[in-house]
Amino acid sequence: MLYAIPLLFLALFFFYPLLSILVVSFAPEGMFDPRALHKLVSSGYYLRILGFTVWQAALSTFLTVVLALPGAYIFARYRFPGKWLLQALTTLPFVLPTVVVANAFTALLGPQGRLNLLLMALLGRSEPVIDLQHTLWIILAAHVFYNYAVVLRIVSSFWANLNPRLEEAARVLGARPYAVWRHVTLPLLMPALAAAALLVFIFCFTSFGVILILGGPRFATLEVEIYRQTVNYFNLPMAAALSVIQIIFTFGLMWLYTQLQRRSSVPLDMRAITQTQRYPTSWGARILVGVNIFAMMIGLLVPLLALVERSFTLGGTITLRYYAELFVNRRDAVLYVPPIQAALNSLGFAVATMVLALALGILSAAMLARPARTKSGRRLQSLLDPLLMLPLGTSAVTLGFGFIVALDEPPLNLRTSPLLIPLAHTLVAFPFVVRALLPALRGIKPSLREAAAVLGATPWRAWREVVLPIIGRAVLAGAVFAFTISMGEFGATALIARPQLPTLPIAIFRFLGQPGLLNYGQALAMSTILMCVCTVGMLAIERFRIVGVGEF
C-alpha cells in the first residue's frame, strides 16, 4: 500500500497538470479549438524558436562531449591525490542554479567583467575588449560549464570498469593509438557516451535561466517563450501549445535515454576500479593528468571565483556593502521583504522538499529494488523505472505552468499556497534521490532480510535495523541532493512563487532586472551565498557517496 504513494503523488502533481496543459491547448474554452496549435505550426516566429532550441542544444552537446572526454579518461584510468575533491568541484556547476551560473559568466566575461577590466587596463582602452553579452558564444560557454559534469561522471564511471587489457591486446597486435580508440575503446564506450550526450541535450533543450539572462531579448528557447507567453502576455493557450511541443520532445528524448542507459548497464568485460586504475608514474601520464586537472580548474572554477571577487570589489574598492544591504528593506526595493528573507524562504522550502523527496524516493527505490519473482513483476518494474524518472526529463517551466493551470480549483486549489513551491521542487528532486538509493538497495543480499525474519523481526524492524544502516550514506547523499536542488531551483519557481515569498534565485533574477550598481551588487552577493551553500552540499554528497555505487 505504501508503494502506491509515489504513484499517487505523480498522478496528482505531475500527470494531472500535464493533462490540464493539453486541455488548455486543445480546448481553451471547453470545446476543441486548434487555433493555438495552428498558429504555432504556421508562424515562422515559433518555428524559428523551435529551430534555435534544437540547434543550440545540439551544438552545446557536441562541445560538452568533446571537452569532457579527456577529463573522463583521467578520472577512469588514474588515481591521484585530491581526486574526490576534484570530483566534487567539477560536479558543483551542475547543481548550481542557472541564475548563479549566468551571474558568474557575466562577472567574468561581461562588459564590466573581470576579464574585460584586466584587458582594458593592460591595453589602455576605455571600452570593453571582449563583448560577449547577449551572444550565442556566452550561452554555449555556460552550457558547457553547466553540463560538463554530466559527461564526466557518466562516461568516466563506465570507462573505469572496462577491462584495459582489450586496449593493450590491440596495441600488442600493432594497432596505433588512434586505431585502438576508434575500433576498440569508442565502440565499448558508445552506450554510455550516447546516454550522457542525450542527457546533456535534454538539459540544453530545456535551458531557461541561462538563455533568459545571458541571451537577453535576442534569443529564446521553447522554455523561455513559454515563460514570456505566460508572464508577459498571459497568453495561456499559446503557452500551452508550446508546452505540448516541449512535452513531446522531452518525453521522447527521455524514453530514448532510458533505453541507452539500460544498454550501458549491460556488462561487457567489466573489472573493478582497483584493477583498472593506477597512479601516473611515467612523465607522459603525469603531464596528461596535470594538464587536464589544470584545464578543469581554469574552466570550471575561474567563473565562480570571478563571481565571488566581483561581489566584494564592484565599484572599484573592496567592500562589504552589498552583503550588508541584504538585511535592509528599502522602500523602492524590488522585493517586498529584506533580501535576506529570500534566503530564509529558500531554506524553509529546501527542508520541506528534502523531507518530501526522501519519503517518496525511499518508497520508490524500495519498490524498484524488490526482487520480482514473476515475469509480469519484472515487466512492471521495467515500466515503473522510467515512469518515476519522467519528471527528471520534463521542463521545470512546463511543470510550473501546469501547476498554474491545474491547481486552481477545489480540492486542489493551491495556486496561492506556499505549499506549491516545495511540491514543485520535490518533483524535480526526488528522481535524484531514487538514483542515489537504488544501487545501494539492489546491492543488499536478500539473505540478510530473510535471516532477520527467521529471528522474529517484523518487516519494519528489519528495515530499521538491517537495511537502513546499510543504505544510510546513500540516504544522506540523496537528502543533500534534494536540499541543494531545491535551494537553486528557478524555472518552476519563476512562475509559481508569490511576490511576498521570493526564493534566493527569484530575488537574484529580480535584482538583475533592475538598473543601478546597488541592485547588481546585491545580486552578486546573493549568488555568492547560494554558491557557497551548493558547494558545501556537493562536498557532503561526495563524502556520503559510496565509491562505485550510484547512477550519477
Q: Looking at the structure, do residues 211 and 360 belong to the same domain, yes or no? A: no
Q: Looking at the structure, do residues 278 and 382 belong to the same domain, yes or no? A: no
Residue scoring higher pLDDT (22 or 319): 319
Q: What is the DSSP letter of 393?
A: G
pLDDT digits (tens, 9 = 90+) for 122-179: 888 878 888 787 888 989 999 999 899 889 988 888 777 776 777 767 777 777 777 7
Least confident of 78-87, 338-347, 420-429: 78-87
Q: How many domains does the chain have?
A: 2
Task: Print the SS3 string covering 113-167.
Answer: CHHHHHHHHHHCCCCCCCCCCCCHHHHHHHHHHHHHHHHHHHHHHHHCCECCHHH
Residue 170 lies inside a defined structural domain of this protein: yes
Residue 352 lies inside a defined structural domain of this protein: yes
Residue 179 lies inside a defined structural domain of this protein: yes
Do residues 98 and 146 lie in contact, with contact meaning Cβ atoms separated by under 8 Å? Answer: yes
Beta bridge partners of 270: 162
Give the pLDDT confidence score for residue 264 in this predicted structure: 52
Q: Looking at the structure, do residues 305 and 373 belong to the same domain, yes or no? A: no
- Give the residue from 123, 114, 155 showing the smallest Cα distance to 309: 114
Gap between the Cα atoms of 154 and 68, Å rounded: 11
Q: Looking at the structure, do residues 225 and 307 belong to the same domain, yes or no? A: yes
Give the pLDDT confidence score for residue 498 in this predicted structure: 82
Query: What is the residue type of 306?
Result: A
3 state DSSP class of 394:
coil
Tally Cβ neighbours within 10 Å of residue 165: 13
Q: Looking at the structure, do residues 276 and 379 belong to the same domain, yes or no? A: no
Cα dihedral angle (152, 157, 159, 164), rounded to 10 degrees?
140
Q: In this model, does residue 34 exceed pLDDT 80?
A: no
Of 274, 297, 313, the residue at which a domain comes to its end is 313
pLDDT digits (tens, 9 = 90+) for 175-190: 777 777 777 777 878 8
Residue 150's Cα: distance from chain center in Å? 9
Q: Looking at the structure, do residues 348 and 309 belong to the same domain, yes or no? A: no
Q: What mean pLDDT do residues 442-463 have? A: 74
- Statement: the pTM of the whole predicted model exceeds 0.85: no
Domain holding 488, by residue range, is 342-391+419-544
Q: What mean pLDDT do residues 309-338 have? A: 80
3 state DSSP class of 78:
strand
Residue 82 lies inside a defined structural domain of this protein: yes
Residue 331 lies inside a defined structural domain of this protein: no
Give the pLDDT confidence score for residue 261 in this predicted structure: 61
Q: In this model, does residue 268 exceed pLDDT 60?
A: no
Residue 7 lies inside a defined structural domain of this protein: no
Task: For residue 515, name the pLDDT band (cuts at 50, 70, 90).
Answer: confident
Q: Looking at the structure, do residues 371 and 277 belong to the same domain, yes or no? A: no
Q: In this model, does residue 500 exceed pLDDT 70?
A: yes
Q: In this model, does residue 63 exceed pLDDT 90?
A: yes
Q: Looking at the structure, do residues 49 and 91 belong to the same domain, yes or no? A: yes
CATH of the domain at 450: 1.10.3720.10
Residue 445 lies inside a defined structural domain of this protein: yes
Gap between the Cα atoms of 229 and 398, Å rounded: 12
Q: Looking at the structure, do residues 69 and 202 belong to the same domain, yes or no? A: yes
Q: Looking at the structure, do residues 379 and 230 belong to the same domain, yes or no? A: no
Give the pLDDT confidence score for residue 140 in this predicted structure: 93
Provide the grid cell at 150.
Answer: 554530466
Residue 36 lies inside a defined structural domain of this protein: no
Beta bridge partners of 162: 270
Q: Looking at the structure, do residues 347 and 306 belong to the same domain, yes or no? A: no
Q: Looking at the structure, do residues 188 and 228 belong to the same domain, yes or no? A: yes
Task: For residue 462, name the pLDDT band (cuts at 50, 70, 90).
Answer: confident
Gap between the Cα atoms of 269 and 284, Å rounded: 27
Residue scoring higher pLDDT (353 or 73): 353
